[in-house]
Amino acid sequence: MGTNSTTTRGSMVASTNNTERNWQKDMPAYKRLRQEGLQPKSIDGAARIESRATEKWQVETGIGI
């Protein structure tokens, strides 16, 4: 029998699904930032960084976002 939400892995599956859902916004944002010559720290949260950052250093460090 496979694992399901009643096992201890259920929360891990929910977390993974949430992360993958966020990638729908983060991946295109990360790609746009990279095309502009910027290097975000990670793909996760790239959409939020893209929308809030006003300076290059904010994108690359994630500070002040």
CA distance linking residue 19 with residue 35, whole number of Å: 23
Per-residue confidence (pLDDT) for residue 32, from 0 to 100: 97
pLDDT 10s digits, 26-38: 999 999 999 999 9
Which letter, b or e, does each residue of 14-48 get, where b requires 16 or more Cβ atoms within 10 Å of its Cβ?
Answer: eeeeeeeebeeebeebbeebeeeebebeebebbbe
Per-residue confidence (pLDDT) for residue 34, from 0 to 100: 96
Q: What is the pTM of this model?
A: 0.74
Alpha helices by DSSP H, the chain: 10-35, 46-52, 56-61
Per-residue confidence (pLDDT) for residue 63, from 0 to 100: 87
**6 pLDDT exceeds 60?**
no
Per-residue confidence (pLDDT) for residue 11, from 0 to 100: 76
**5 pLDDT exceeds 70?**
no
